[in-house]
């Protein structure tokens, strides 16, 4: 199993002022999200952080986008084998702390 950590694009862009100040500050309503891969039972990330644009509607869609974006790296697993964690979650990752697959964060 691999872990994905979605990162708040406001933090990673050093609070870039290109975002609409009147918009909802919820990370899930942002134009894009950053993703970092972690291998199971490892505390160091795998590869570089990458951007998914636009933000998918739910966790399942995000996992599918990540699988497509990193199809060579993740050729040995399915999108359903990926777990998604909120920004700021630190390793070791526990399955109980993952965002549930049916969670729709845009509504």
Domain limits of the chain? 2-96
Mean pLDDT confidence for 71-75 = 92
pLDDT at 11: 45
| Residue 41 predicted with pLDDT over 60 | yes
Whole-number pLDDT of residue 105: 63
Which has more confidence, 93 or 79?
79
pTM value surpassing 0.85: no
> Is residue 16's pLDDT more than 60?
no
Look at residue 34 and tell me whether its pLDDT is greater than 60: yes
55-61 — which CB contacts under 8 Å span 24+ positions? 55/28, 55/29, 55/30, 55/31, 55/105, 55/106, 57/104, 57/105, 57/106, 58/101, 58/102, 58/103, 58/104, 58/105, 58/106, 59/84, 59/99, 59/100, 59/101, 59/102, 59/103, 60/101, 60/102
- Predicted local distance difference test score (pLDDT) of residue 8: 56
Check: CB of residue 19 under 8 Å from CB of residue 31: yes
Q: Give first-to-last CA distance, the chain, whole Å.
A: 28
Contact in structure between 46 and 73 (CB atoms under 8 Å) = yes
Given a cut of 70, whether residue 18 has pLDDT beyond it is no
Report, as an integer, the average pLDDT of 83-103: 82
Is pLDDT at 68 greater than 90 in this prediction? yes
Mean pLDDT of 10-15: 44
């Amino acid at each position: 199993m691999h872990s994905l950590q979605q990162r708040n694009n406001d933090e990673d862009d050093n609070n870039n002022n290109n975002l609409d100040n009147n918009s909802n500050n919820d990370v899930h309503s942002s134009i894009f999200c950053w993703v970092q891969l972690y291998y199971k039972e490892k505390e160091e990330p795998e590869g570089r952080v990458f951007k998914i644009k636009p933000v998918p509607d739910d966790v399942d869609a995000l996992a599918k986008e990540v699988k497509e974006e990193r199809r060579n790296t993740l050729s040995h697993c399915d999108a359903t084998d990926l777990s998604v964690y909120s920004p700021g979650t630190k390793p070791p990752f526990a399955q109980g702390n993952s965002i549930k697959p049916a969670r729709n964060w845009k509504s």
